[in-house]
Structure 1
C-alpha cells in the first residue's frame, strides 16, 4: 500500500468513525430528551428511563404516600393523612432532563449515577387536606388575647390612634404555609411552637398612612348630629357617620340604604311600642306587661328623609327624632305609662282609673268570654277616641248578628274598647269565663259615664 493509499484509508476510517460518533451522539440526544438516563435518582426516587410524566407521577405518588406529623417535645399533636396534593414540578424536571449534551453523553458512556434534588412545590390542595388542618384541636384552642390592627378610634371625636395588639390567636393559614413548605422540602414532620403561628397585625400605629387617615376622619366625620330621646340624648358616632357617607372627588355623598339601616336600628333601640314594661298593679304588685299599641314609634320614612338632609348639610344638628306616635306621658323615659292610666285586671275582673297616682274610680267589669274564644287582648294600649251613642255590631260565634247600642264607647285597640253594658245585671267574678263579652270591657253605666268624662284620646290603658 502506497503512502497515498494509507492516507486515504486513514482519512476514510476517521470520517467513518466521526460519522458513527455523530450518529451515536444524536441517538443519545434523542433518547435523553424524552427519558431520564440510567442511574438518575430524583429526591431519592429511581427515575431511570422514565418520561417526564412518569417521573412526575412516581414522585407525586411517593410524596403523597407519607403522612405528615406535627410534633411537640416528642409527642404527636396531630397528623395529616392522605395528602393527595398536586405538585408544580414540571419545569424542574425539564431542566433536570435537558442538561447540557456533553454531560448527557458522558453519563451515558460512563454510566455515572446522577443524584438530583428538586423542590416539591405544592400547586393545589384538596378539601380533605384543608379540613384536617382546620379541625386540629391544638389550632382551635381558645386564645386569651386577640390580635388587632392599629386603628383610628371612631367611637368619639377625639380620633385617637389605638395601638395594635399582638394576640395569641393562631393564624391557620400561616401554619398551613409552614406545612406546605416542609412538604416541599421533603420533611414530613414539623416541630410545633405556637408562637411561630400567632396572627400578626397588618397595620401598626407607626404606619404613616394611619396618621393620614386620622386627618381624613377629622375632616369628614366630625359633624355632630344629636337626637333628643325622652329624657336622654344620643349623638351619632363618627363610625356611624362613616357608614352613611362616602367621599368621592372631595364631595360628600349619602348612602340612603345605609341611612335606612341606621334609622331602623335607632327605632329598634328607642321605640317603646310593644316592649315589656314593669307595671305596679293594684292587686298583684309589680308585674311585666308586654305587647300593645302604646308608646314611642319613630316614623322611619320621614326620619330617613330628615337625616339625609342633615347629612348633606354638613352642619351640626340637635333635634328630636320624627315620631309617628308618642305616648300620653313623655316625662319618664322608657317608663312612659306615668301615673295617670286605666288599669284593667282580667283575672280579678276589675277596672281602676288612676290620675296623678290616685284612684278616681274603680269598678267591677266583664271582659271577653273565654269559653267563646273572645278573650280580651293584654298589653299596654291607649284610648283611640271616644264617642257617645254608638251601635256595636258584629257576629256571634254561631254566625248570628248582634247589634248592641251603648251610650259611652271608648275603644283602645281595633274593635276592642270599654263601654257601658246596660243589659247586664251583674259584673265581676267569673262571669267572663262562660258568659263574657265579644272581647270588649263591659262596665256598669254609671262607672262608664264617669270614666268617659275623665279620659281623653291617648290616655294609657293597661290590660293584664
Structure 2
C-alpha cells in the first residue's frame, strides 16, 4: 500500500473542507427560502383577510368614492345614503351663470324632495361586494333620474322671472353680413347676442337638478340662440363671391352721341341679403336708374325747336313721336346683366323710336302742317314732294286739330270715316293722333284760308285728292307729322 505524502494529505483536507462549506451554504439557502415562503404566505393571508373582510363590510354599503347625484355616499348604507341625499337637498342651490347675469334656484323655491330609496336599494343590490377594491382606483357614480321631485309649475314661474328674459337684457343674435368697402364687399363678423332658448334652458336646469349639479353655465350648455350664419359659413363665403361678381357689372349706354355708364359706384347699394343668405336686388333703385336713362334718351313729347318751310323757328310740344325708353323692360335687362356680372356696351331698350336721333330727331323726311297758315308740306329725304292748302279742325266748334309731333299710326286705302252724325268714305286714310288723320276730301272744292274757322273738319286734316295720294304713296311709319 502506497503511503500518502504530505502534499496529498493537505489536498484531501481541503476537499473535505470545501464539501462541508458547500453543504452548509445549501442548508442556509433552504432556510432563507422557507422564510420567504412563510413571509409571502403571511402577507397573502393578511391581504386575503383584508379583502374578504372588505367584501363582507361592503356587502350592505356603497363602495369607496361612490357618488349618487354628485353626493358622496362612500361606505354608507341605503338609509345613510338616503339621509345624506335628503340633507343635501335641503341646502341645495343651483347657480345659473349667464354671459353677464346670474340667477339662483333654491330647494325651497321649487319644493325639492327625494324619493329614490327603492332605487338606492336596487343600486346596492347590483353592486358586487368583491369588487370594492377596484373602486379605490376607479370610483363609480350614478344619476338617479326621476328620483328627485319638485313642483314644475313653481320652477316654470321662477324661470319666467329670470333676468335673462328681460327685454333690456336680450340682444338678438346677428348673422354675419356684408359691407361695401373700397370697391368690394367684405364680411362683417356675426354677433352672438344674449338671447336664451327657453326650452333648452328649462331642459338644462331640469337635468342639473336631477343630477345634483350646483352650477350650470349657459354658454357651456349651449342654450343661447346662435346666429345661423358665421363669417366662415359656406353660405356666407358663397354669397360674398356672388355679390362681388355682380358688383363687377359695367353697362355702358351709348346711343345718339350720348353716353351713360352704370357700374359698382352706382349699384353697390342696390343689394340686400336675406336671413337665408339669398341676394335681392332692389327693384325700386333699378327702376329709378331706368327712369334716369329715360330722362337722358327720351324725346317723345318734348318741346322741339323746328324751322318751318317759311323760315320761321317755332317750338312744338306734345305728340306721340320720338324715342321712348321701355323702362319696365330696361329694368329686367339691367337685373339680368347684374346677375351675370356683364361688362357690355349697348343702347337702351326703346319701346318707340323716331326717324333719327340728333337735333330735334325729325330728320329730313316729314309732314309739316301749319295750322295757322292752313298749309301742308311733305318732304322725303330732304326733297319737297308736295305742298298744298288744307282744311283742319273746326275752330268755332272746338274741334281744332291739336299741335304736336306725331307718328303715323297706319295707312289704309278705301276707308270709311264714321262719327256721331256722319259716315264718310275716303280713298287715302292716314291716322296719326287717335281718330285724327290725313285724308282726301273730295267733297271740298276749296282749301286754305279761314275755312277751318267755321267750316272745318271734326279734327282731321282734309287734303286735295292728288295731294293725299302722293303723301299716301310715299309716307311710312318713321316719318314724323309736325303740327304747329
- TM-score, normalising length from structure 1? 0.50
Larger radius of gyration: 2
- TM-score, normalising length from structure 2? 0.48
Higher helix share: 2
